[in-house]
């Protein structure tokens, strides 16, 4: 008997060998067709868990197979290394964020990713907190600043009291901080840096249609997030102050004749100015209360509307109605114009508001053309215009257009598109992030740092991280003090750092030219590799990261730095790995903060990396959520053990041919013929399964198991191992062929064991080169079909018999077989046959 399968004996050996051989290096500008395979890079938290392992395995299998298919594959890896956990660690462990991050990276790279047997080109490793990298993050922000895409403005912002920093909208979940799900986000007015992503709202929305290689669900999520609404801006004039005009945004300009009141958001700048003296007290009280409510409070307090009138009125420009102005917190200051026209008859929310405060409800659209005395609920459907002056009788759709035209002609409105997407708030009052390369000069205002002075280095010496009192950079006077790049006078550096999502919005552009000290990326290299052919990542990034990355790509394209306008041609959005969390008592996404992680190290020690890879691939198809349960893992270990024994037994007894000649069907014994067919069938099935758009690795593995089981049966039946000395050349050739192909097909998924056994094959004697640079197997279509088939015989759709028959029977022959079958005759029992359906080579259905 041959040696036992001990993964620990072979895995590290091959990992070192592969690195020495450099087989995973990508070649810039090579003539081979390029394939850019990318996986979302991790935050270096210090430990990779099974959720990570699943993504990296999937992406690695894709990369490895593409390499075997003859592509010049770029499969890089890096670290999303700025971020708050490093600061928290600094406080709790008294370790500098940089040291903490660096040692985490080292551990995760050398002990976890490399030991998983991944095929990265490590020469291109990118670490976002390294000067060499964030130099170019800053450079991009300068370019954005020069082109008006990076702006400073006063705006209501989300403030997380735990993080002591502002958050982007995308980082607020249900009114809570995405990082501290128990912490309510507060609203504050602050002057902050924004990226003008709304400028790209339309292309970001429209180009989703181009992304046919993306999962539908992700496109829908982005579409919802961008949230385009078309309608009109209508201008109402204040009754008592004819020079004050208030625009509202509405998607229903057709209902303007039914306006009952105007509603301003509590933060609306005109509230103070327009409040009548007798209402002042009540309005101030209301506004003050609203400001203390977080967004969550505003939503979660019972759905009933609140609000107070401010004692002034506006004139409806369409019919001259004078309607009161109210202030109510259901109007949001940062959507539309912060002011809403309230039409109770045709909006459910407005209806509720009007009912509560006794406002008049006037019908202006009728479902059937008739007028109604009083309405019991809002009618939001289509219909005919009523009570609307010259527009009466039109359908409301026609009226919409005509009324917008009328408003434009009369200077009281225009068509307007409104997006739910808001500008991206990027400044953070934190230390461990990329410094914003802008300088405040008393004379010149905000001045960009000179390109030649980049990077603006984040100071590492003398930083005090306490978690209190805002950014630690604020206290670093020596660092803050600088001179103005424009006038040379005294000036101060911006102390806010960037949202880390900026760093990850362009990292895929750096890999193509990761070591370039002179520019972010050379034009020819980035355009050779981009766009990414296959991106793999968790569905949890469906909005945030993917939207930002698309925005960066489009902006950089418009500035002339890249050619492609979408960064990721194909996206595999892998399902989350979940597990019961003792903290919450629920099944949740595996993550450190939820206390339900399963690390990789123990798993590798127990079963080896190959089994770990197979297990995560086998447990479920990649897009599906996977609840972690290790019980099935042993099955993969056993399977690899069977592969090992099968191949090494055959090698030991000399049952494998010493050349690569394929056996010929004709010269094989009858018992051996199906084995050759099985190999061809397996090549066909596995190839199909692990390629797009299927990517179903679980069934690919199942097919390999069937091959191994089939080979095992054959060896048992023929006693080939016991009687190896009697094997004919053709049989040896068959067994050699089968083993070689088994290993080639297994190679992308279980790279170590397949390499180890492959190199031991007798046919490899005197040859060099890794299995991972071999050519992916091809199959003979003719050998994937059987001559004998099993014909299923049905009567009225129910199976009565299964008869083995020759492939390729015509309909009449098949029909005859069915009708002469005894079981069919029994069922017929004298009744007449109405119809016979024949599915060639599959089934005959006799209908009686």
Residues between 592 and 621 with contacts to RNA, criterion CB under 7 A = 606-607, 618-621
Q: Which residues pair with 262 in a beta bridge?
A: 325, 341
Stretch that binds RNA, among 498-506, 536-544, 555-563, 779-787 (CB under 7 A): 536-544
- Residue from 12, 649, 706, 780 that binds RNA (CB under 7 A)? 706
Stretch that binds RNA, among 92-100, 546-554, 748-756, 834-842 (CB under 7 A): 834-842
- Residue from 16, 451, 722, 790 that binds RNA (CB under 7 A)? 790
Q: Is 653 in the site for RNA (CB under 7 A)?
A: no
- Residue from 539, 556, 643, 809 that binds RNA (CB under 7 A)? 539
Count CB-CB contacts under 10 A for residue 752.
23
Q: In terms of Cα–Cα distance, which of 640, 642, 620 is closest to 629?
A: 620
In this complex, which beta carbon is closest to RNA, that of residue 295 or of residue 496?
Answer: 295
d(CA 36, CA 567): 11
**Beta-strand relationship, 176-177 and 172-173:** antiparallel
In this complex, which beta carbon is closest to RNA, that of residue 231 or of residue 748?
Answer: 231
Residues found in the chain: 848
d(CA 677, CA 683): 10
Query: In this structure, are residues 358 and 248 in contact, taking their beta carbons and an 8 Å threshold?
Result: no
Count CB-CB contacts under 10 A for residue 203.
16
- Residue from 633, 711, 738, 817 that binds RNA (CB under 7 A)? 633
Tell me the backbone φ, ψ of residue 666, rounded to 5 degrees.
-60, -35
Q: Is 701 in the site for RNA (CB under 7 A)?
A: yes
d(CA 218, CA 501): 18
In this complex, which beta carbon is closest to RNA, that of residue 4 or of residue 466?
Answer: 4
Q: By rule CB under 7 A, what string of x and - marks binding of each residue 398-427 to RNA?
A: --------------------x-x-------
Distance (Å) of CA 345 to CA 327, 366, 379, 484, 540? 20, 10, 6, 59, 40
In this complex, which beta carbon is closest to RNA, that of residue 224 or of residue 667?
Answer: 224
In this complex, which beta carbon is closest to RNA, that of residue 447 or of residue 803?
Answer: 803
Residues near RNA (CB under 7 A), total: 90
Q: How far is the CB of 597 from RNA (least distance, A)?
A: 17
Q: Which residues contact 505 (CB under 8 A, 6 or more apart)?
A: 545, 548, 549, 551, 552
Q: How far is the CB of 18 from RNA (least distance, A)?
A: 27
Q: 216-255: which residues touch RNA (CB under 7 A)?
A: 216-217, 220-221, 224-225, 227, 229, 231, 248-252
Q: 710-769: which residues touch RNA (CB under 7 A)?
A: 712-713, 716
In this complex, which beta carbon is closest to RNA, that of residue 86 or of residue 539?
Answer: 539
* Neighbouring C-alpha atoms within 13 Å toward the C-beta of 95: 14
- What H or E segment, with its residue span, contains residue 701? helix 697-718
Q: How far is the CB of 637 from RNA (least distance, A)?
A: 6
Q: Is 381 in the site for RNA (CB under 7 A)?
A: no
Query: In this structure, are residues 627 and 75 in contact, taking their beta carbons and an 8 Å threshold?
Result: no
d(CA 617, CA 630): 13
In this complex, which beta carbon is closest to RNA, that of residue 698 or of residue 718?
Answer: 698
Provide the 8-state DSSP code for 179.
Answer: S
b (16+ CB within 10 A) / e for 672-685? bbbbbbbbbbbbbb
- Residue from 332, 415, 522, 783 that binds RNA (CB under 7 A)? 332
Q: By rule CB under 7 A, what string of x and - marks binding of each residue 199-218 to RNA?
A: -----------------xx-
Q: By rule CB under 7 A, what string of x and - marks binding of each residue 145-174 to RNA?
A: ----------------------------x-
- Residue from 202, 442, 519, 625 that binds RNA (CB under 7 A)? 625
Q: 278-297: which residues touch RNA (CB under 7 A)?
A: 295
In this complex, which beta carbon is closest to RNA, that of residue 420 or of residue 440?
Answer: 420
Stretch that binds RNA, among 88-96, 507-515, 668-676, 833-841 (CB under 7 A): 833-841
Q: Is 660 in the site for RNA (CB under 7 A)?
A: no
- Residue from 523, 629, 664, 812 that binds RNA (CB under 7 A)? 629
- Residue from 83, 311, 336, 748 that binds RNA (CB under 7 A)? 336
Q: In terms of Cα–Cα distance, which of 479, 481, 499, 504 is closest to 491?
A: 481
d(CA 261, CA 237): 13
- Residue from 641, 649, 658, 833 that binds RNA (CB under 7 A)? 641
- Residue from 457, 799, 806, 813 that binds RNA (CB under 7 A)? 799
Q: How far is the CB of 208 from RNA (least distance, A)?
A: 13
b (16+ CB within 10 A) / e for 493-523? bbbbbbbbbbbbbbbbbbbbbbeeeeebbee
Q: How far is the CB of 700 from RNA (least distance, A)?
A: 10
d(CA 32, CA 43): 33
Stretch that binds RNA, among 590-598, 705-713, 749-757, 809-817 (CB under 7 A): 705-713
- Residue from 54, 109, 114, 305 that binds RNA (CB under 7 A)? 305
Q: 668-697: which residues touch RNA (CB under 7 A)?
A: 696
Q: 467-486: which residues touch RNA (CB under 7 A)?
A: none
Query: In this structure, are residues 289 and 268 in contact, taking their beta carbons and an 8 Å threshold?
Result: no
- Residue from 36, 330, 391, 507 that binds RNA (CB under 7 A)? 330
Q: Which residues contact 277 (CB under 8 A, 6 or more apart)?
A: 311
Structure-token pair, residue 159 = 């403030």
Q: Which residues contact 820 (CB under 8 A, 6 or more apart)?
A: none
Q: Is 299 in the site for RNA (CB under 7 A)?
A: yes
In this complex, which beta carbon is closest to RNA, that of residue 262 or of residue 655?
Answer: 262
- In the numeric block, the tokens 């006794």 are attached to 358
Q: Which residues contact 677 (CB under 8 A, 6 or more apart)?
A: 783, 784, 786
The separation between CA 110 and the C-alpha centre of its own chain, rounded to angstroms, equals 26
Structure-token pair, residue 462 = 């003398």
In this complex, which beta carbon is closest to RNA, that of residue 306 or of residue 770?
Answer: 306
Q: 121-140: which residues touch RNA (CB under 7 A)?
A: none
């Amino acid at each position: 008997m041959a040696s036992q399968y001990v993964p620990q004996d072979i895995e590290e050996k091959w990992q070192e060998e592969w690195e020495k051989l450099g087989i995973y290096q990508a070649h810039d500008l090579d003539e081979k067709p390029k394939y850019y395979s990318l996986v979302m890079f991790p935050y270096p938290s210090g430990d990779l868990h099974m959720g990570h392992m699943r993504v990296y395995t999937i992406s690695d299998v894709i990369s490895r197979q593409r390499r075997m298919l003859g592509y010049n594959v770029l499969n890089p890896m890096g670290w999303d290394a700025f971020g708050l956990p490093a600061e928290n660690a600094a406080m709790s462990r008294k370790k500098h964020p940089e040291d903490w991050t660096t040692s985490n990276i080292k551990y995760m790279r050398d002990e976890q990713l490399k030991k998983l047997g991944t095929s990265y080109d490590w020469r291109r490793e990118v670490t976002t907190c390294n000067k060499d990298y964030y130099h170019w993050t800053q450079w991009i922000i300068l370019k954005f600043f020069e082109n008006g895409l990076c702006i400073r403005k006063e705006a209501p912002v989300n403030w997380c009291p735990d993080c002591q920093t502002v958050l982007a909208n995308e980082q607020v979940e249900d009114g809570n901080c995405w990082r501290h799900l128990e912490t309510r986000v507060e609203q504050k007015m602050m002057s902050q840096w924004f990226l003008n992503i709304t400028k790209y709202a339309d292309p970001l929305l429209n180009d989703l249609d181009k992304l046919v290689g993306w999962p539908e669900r992700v496109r829908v999520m982005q579409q919802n997030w961008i949230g385009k609404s078309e309608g009109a801006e209508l201008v109402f004039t204040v009754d008592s102050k004819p020079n004050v005009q208030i625009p509202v945004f509405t998607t229903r300009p057709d209902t303007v004749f039914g306006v009952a009141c105007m509603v301003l958001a509590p933060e609306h700048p005109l509230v103070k100015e327009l409040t009548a003296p007798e209402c002042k007290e009540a309005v101030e009280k209301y506004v003050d209360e609203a400001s203390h409510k977080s967004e969550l409070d505003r939503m979660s307090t019972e759905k009933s509307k609140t609000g107070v009138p401010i004692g002034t009125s506006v004139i409806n420009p369409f019919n001259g109605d004078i309607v009161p102005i109210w202030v109510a917190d259901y109007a949001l200051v940062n959507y539309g114009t912060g002011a809403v026209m309230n039409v109770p008859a045709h909006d459910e929310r407005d209806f509720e508001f009007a009912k509560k405060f006794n406002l008049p409800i006037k019908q202006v659209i009728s479902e059937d053309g008739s007028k109604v005395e009083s309405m019991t609920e809002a009618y939001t459907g289509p219909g005919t215009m009523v009570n609307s002056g010259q527009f009466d009788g039109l359908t409301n759709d026609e009226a919409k257009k005509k009324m917008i035209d009328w408003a434009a002609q009369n200077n009281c409105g225009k068509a307007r598109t409104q997006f739910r997407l808001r500008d991206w708030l990027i400044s953070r009052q934190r230390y461990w992030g990329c410094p914003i390369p802008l300088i405040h000069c008393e004379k010149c205002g905000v001045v960009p740092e000179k390109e030649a002075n980049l990077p603006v280095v984040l100071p590492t010496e003398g930083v005090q991280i306490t978690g209190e009192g805002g950014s630690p950079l604020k206290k670093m006077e020596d660092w803050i003090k600088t001179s103005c790049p424009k006038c040379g006078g005294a000036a101060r550096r911006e102390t806010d750092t960037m949202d880390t999502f900026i760093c990850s919005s362009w990292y895929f552009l750096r890999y193509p030219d990761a070591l370039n000290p002179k520019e972010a990326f050379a034009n020819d290299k980035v355009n050779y590799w981009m766009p990414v052919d296959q991106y793999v990542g968790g569905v949890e990034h469906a909005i945030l990261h993917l939207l930002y990355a698309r925005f960066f790509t489009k902006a950089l394209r418009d500035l002339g730095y890249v050619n492609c306008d979408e960064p990721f041609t194909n996206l595999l959005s892998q399902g989350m790995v979940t597990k019961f969390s003792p903290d919450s008592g629920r099944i949740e996404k595996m993550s450190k903060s939820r206390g339900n992680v399963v690390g990789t190290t123990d798993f590798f020690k127990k079963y080896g990396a190959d089994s770990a890879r197979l297990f995560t691939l086998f447990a479920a198809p990649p897009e599906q959520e996977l609840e972690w349960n290790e019980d099935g893992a042993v099955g993969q270990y056993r399977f690899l053990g069977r592969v090992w024994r099968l191949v090494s037994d055959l090698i030991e007894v000399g049952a494998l041919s010493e050349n690569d000649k394929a056996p010929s069907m004709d010269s094989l014994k009858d018992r051996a013929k199906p084995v050759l067919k099985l190999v061809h069938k397996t090549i066909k099935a596995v190839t199909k399964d692990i390629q797009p758009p299927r990517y179903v690795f679980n069934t690919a593995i199942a097919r390999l198991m069937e091959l191994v089981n089939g080979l095992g049966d054959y060896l048992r039946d023929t006693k080939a191992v016991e009687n190896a000395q009697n094997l004919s050349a053709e049989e040896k050739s068959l067994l050699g062929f089968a083993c070689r192909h088994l290993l080639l097909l297994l190679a992308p998924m279980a790279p170590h064991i397949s390499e180890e056994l492959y190199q031991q094959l007798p046919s490899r004697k005197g040859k060099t080169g890794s299995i991972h640079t071999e050519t992916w197997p091809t199959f003979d279509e003719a050998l994937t079909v059987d001559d004998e088939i099993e014909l299923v015989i049905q009567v009225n759709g129910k199976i009565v018999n299964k008869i083995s028959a020759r492939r390729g029977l015509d309909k009449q022959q098949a029909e005859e077989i069915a009708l002469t079958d005894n079981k069919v005759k029994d069922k017929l029992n004298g009744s007449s046959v109405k119809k016979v359906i024949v599915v060639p080579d599959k089934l005959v259905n006799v209908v009686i």
